[in-house]
Structure 1
Amino acid sequence: MNTYTPPLTEILERESLPAGGIVSGDVDYEADGVLYRGYTARPAGDGRHPGVLVVHDWLGVTDYVRMRCDMLARLGYSAFAADIYGADIRPAPEEAPAVAGGFYQDRARWRKRLGDAFERLLAEPSVDPSRTAAIGYCFGGSAVLELARTGAQVGAVVSFHGGLLTGPAGEAAQIAAKVLVLHGAADPVAPDDAMLAFVDDLRTSPAVDWELIVYAGAMHAFTLPDANDPDHGAQFHAVAERRSWTAMKNFLVETFG
C-alpha cells in the first residue's frame, strides 16, 4: 500500500477500502519504441471491472495521480494511469510548462499517445473493455477531451480544470463519449471566452452528450492540495475538489449502469 502525504491521505480516505483490499503498482508499457511507466490500481481478486484511464497533470505520473487511481479502485473500478511523457520524463515544476506545451503544439502526437494508453487500459485483464472512461487533471483534463475528439470508443470522459480546446470545424461530431467538464469560475487558463468557444463547438453536434459544471471561486488546479499560487490563478479549493469528485462518481455510475 502506498504512503501518501497527509493532504493526499485525507482525500483518499473519503473512499472506504473494500474488505478484500486493492492491488496496485507501477506498470511499464511500450508503444512505437517509447517506454512508459504508468500505474494500475484495482479491487483485489479475479473478475473484470469498468476501466478508467487517468491522465496526469503537467508534472507527469506523481503520487497525486496514484492516489486518484487508488480512490477509483476503492470504488470498484480498474484504474490505469497513463504516462503521456515517457518513463524518463518527470519534469520539475519550472520545466513542466515547456514539456506540456510541446503536446499542445503537436496535437497529433498527443492524441497518438493517448490512444496508445487507452489501448493499454483495454489490455488489462481486470478491465471490462465494454465499460470504460477517462478522467484527467489540468494537462490531463485537456488530454481526455482530445481523446474524445479522436472518436475513441470510450464511454465517458471527465475533465477536471483542463484547458478547453476547440478543434477543426465539424470535429466535435466524432465524439462518441459522454462528456463532463468540471471547471473553475476563476480559472485563467480557460477564461470565459475559451469556455464559451468550447461550448459553442460542442453545440455544433447535437448528438454529443455533454455537461459543464462551473464552481464559484475556484481557480485552476482546484483539486490539487499543494496548488497555492493565486497570483498566477492556481489554488486548491476544498469545496470544489469534493463536489467535483462527487459529480464524477455520479457520472460514472450513470454511464456504467
Structure 2
Amino acid sequence: MKKILSLLVLISGFLFASEQFVTYEVDGKKYEGYISSPSQNAPLVFLVHDWDGLTDYEVKRAKMLNEMGYATFAVDLYGKGVRPEKIEDKKRLTSELYKDRAKMRTLLDGGFNEAKKLGLNVSNAVGIGYCFGGAAILEMARSGAKLKKFIPFHGGLQTPKGQDYSRTKGEIVVFHGTADKAVSMQDFANLAVELEKTGIKHEMLTYSGAPHAFTVFGSKRYHEEADKASWKRFSEILEDTF
C-alpha cells in the first residue's frame, strides 16, 4: 500500500510540474486550454487570451509565471483548433461573445471548473486577461467569481448596459496605455468612477506612449518600457496577494 501511495504522489507531482495542453468540454463542445504549474499547491493565475485565441503568447506568459512559482490555467473561449488569423474572423469571434455575455460567462466558468478538476489551487487565485481577454476577466469580476483579483492588461473597460460591479468579490487592477486608441482614457476614467462608487477596491495604472496591445512581444505595438513596468508591478501584486 505504501508503495502505491508513493507512486501516486510521484505521478501527482509529475502532473503538477508539467506544462501541457488539455482538452475539455463546455456544453458538449471541445475546448483546449493550457496548464503550467510548478507544484501542486502553487497559487493560480487564471489567464484569458486576446482575440487571437490561445496562442504561443499566452503559453510564454504562463511559462514566465511558472518560473516565478505560480501555476497558470489559460482558458480557451473559442474552441479547440479555433485560432483565427484574419482580422474579420477575430472580429466575428469576439463580437459573438460580446453580444452573448451569458455564453462568455459559461465558457469562463467552464474553464475555471476544468482548472479545479485538474487539482489546481482555485481557492487561491487571481484572474488576468489581455485585450479581449481583459474585457472577459472584468465580465468574470461582475459575475461574482471568487477570485482575489481581476487584472486586465490593455483590456476593454466599458461596463455593458444592465451590468455593474455589485457582485464583485475581489479587487480590480487595470494596466492601460494612454496612447490606446481602441480603449479610450474616458473608458478608463468611467471605470474608476464606477468602482469607487460601488466600493470596489482598485488600482489603475497608465503608461505614457503605450498603445493598445502594448505587452505583445514582437508586434508593432509592443512598448518595452510599459510592458516591463506593468509586469514588474504585476509581480509585486502577486507577491502581496499570495
Q: Which residue of 1 is the match for residue 175 of structure 2?
A: 182
Equivalent of 1:215 in 199, 207, 222: 207
Q: 1:166, 1:197 within 8 Å by CA — same for their partners in 2?
A: no
Of 244-253 and 210-219, deviating more is 244-253
Q: What does 1:24-173 correspond to in 2, within 5 Å?
A: 24-43=19-38, 47-94=40-87, 95-125=89-119, 127-168=120-161, 171-173=164-166
TM-score of the superposition, structure 1-length normalised?
A: 0.84
Specify the code of the residue in structure 1 equivalent to 2:125: T
Same amino acid, percent of matched pairs = 35
Which of structures 1 and 2 has the bigger CA Rg?
2
Q: What does 1:196-235 correspond to in 2, within 5 Å?
A: 196-206=189-199, 208-228=200-220, 235=221
The structure with more helix, counted as a fraction of residues: 2
**CA 1:77–1:105: 2 relative to 1, 3 Å:** same
Q: 2:142, 2:163 within 8 Å by CA — same for their partners in 1?
A: no
Which ranges in structure 2 are unaligned for 5 or more consecutive residues?
Answer: 1-15
Alpha-carbon distance between aligned partners in 2 of 1:180 and 1:110, rounded to the nearest angstrom: 21
SS at match of 1:143: helix
Specify the code of the residue in structure 1 equivalent to 2:179: A
Deviation (angstroms), 1:222: 0.1
Alpha-carbon distance between aligned partners in 1 of 2:118 and 2:229, rounded to the nearest angstrom: 30
SS at match of 2:166: helix
Alpha-carbon distance between aligned partners in 1 of 2:86 and 2:189, rounded to the nearest angstrom: 29
What is the aligned-residue RMSD (CA, Å)? 1.6
| 1:6-65 deviation per Cα after TM superposition (whole angstroms, max 9, x unaligned) | xxxxxxxxxxxxxxx95201111112101001111111xx53111111111101010000
Which ranges in structure 1 are unaligned for 5 or more consecutive residues?
Answer: 1-20, 229-234
Specify the code of the residue in structure 2 equivalent to 1:60: G
Where has structure 1 moved over 6 Å in runs of 4 or more? none
Q: 1:156, 1:252 within 8 Å by CA — same for their partners in 2?
A: no
